[in-house]
Amino acid sequence: MTTQPTALPSRPQDLAPLIDHTLLQPGAGEADLRRYCEEALQHLFCSVCVNPVNVPLVAQLLRGSAVKTCSVVGFPLGATTSWDKAAETANAVHHGADEIDMVINIGALRDGRLDAVRDDIAAVRKACEGRVLKVIIETCLLTDEQKRTACRLAAEAKADFVKTSTGFSTGGATVEDVRLMRGTVGSALSVKASGGIRDWDTALAMIAAGANRIGASSGVALVTGAPASGTGY
């Protein structure tokens, strides 16, 4: 896994291996999921990222390809217990998830209950051993020092990535936050930027700031240069 800075793509289509093609809207149905998987297979995105209930279908549709199945956990609030997150993770892995994007216990972090945050991440890490674990810290709700602390806790709990945002809170990824996260984790972890990335220039800026992965519902627009639709993830 790449933890070093990612080379800047020279063409939009070169973004494809860095994109988690993301469909997390609660109203997404089977036709939407099939379309996202078809787009991911066509453009060779890194993964399709979905809610846990949709993992079995997505894993089936992607089976035998290089495109991975990614499931969110504790999404979008991070406000379930560590036991719940571990169980949700184990179930997602059982049904074919290759990667897990978990939301931390944000309230515990803001309270300074750092052991609780670390243990929360560690419980999910144990439940998805051998798979990629990305830790969503929800930067828009944190001070800069809390962001640094969250990154350090993710590293201590043996996560693979730190990730900026759920895309469902008050803000998404910013270049400043990606740069701060990269500066904190160095080469120990990868960095995923997500939330509000809907065009080539924004994606390129995130990679230049230190992102190794881009989470976006507008993956096709990013790699084709077409206008992105909507204002979602």
**Domain residue spans of the chain:** 17-24+32-224
Catalytic choice (20, 68, 98, 101): 101
pLDDT given at position 232:
55
DSSP secondary structure letter of residue 95? T
Does the active-site annotation cover 126? no
pTM of the model: 0.96
pLDDT given at position 229:
65
CA distances from residue 32 to 25, 71, 131 in whole angstroms, order as listed: 10, 16, 26
DSSP secondary structure letter of residue 173? -
Do 61 and 87 meet the contact criterion of CB atoms below 8 Å apart? no
Which stretches in the chain have pLDDT values below 50? Answer: none
3-state secondary structure at position 6: coil
Catalytic choice (85, 134, 147, 163): 163
Residue count (the chain): 233
Catalytic choice (68, 85, 147, 192): 192
pLDDT given at position 1:
54
Among the listed residues 45, 53, 46, the one whose alpha carbon sits nearest the alpha carbon of residue 28: 53
What lies within 8 Å, CB to CB, of 37 at 6+ separation is 48, 58, 61, 62, 67
| Amino acid letter, 147 | K
| Amino acid letter, 228 | A
pLDDT per residue as tens digits for the range 159-169: 999 999 999 99
CA distances from residue 110 to 91, 105, 107, 151, 202 in whole angstroms, order as listed: 29, 9, 5, 14, 29
pLDDT given at position 230:
55
Which fold does the domain 17-24+32-224 belong to in CATH? TIM Barrel (3.20.20)
Does the active-site annotation cover 163? yes
CA angle 54/56/60 to nearest 5° reads 120
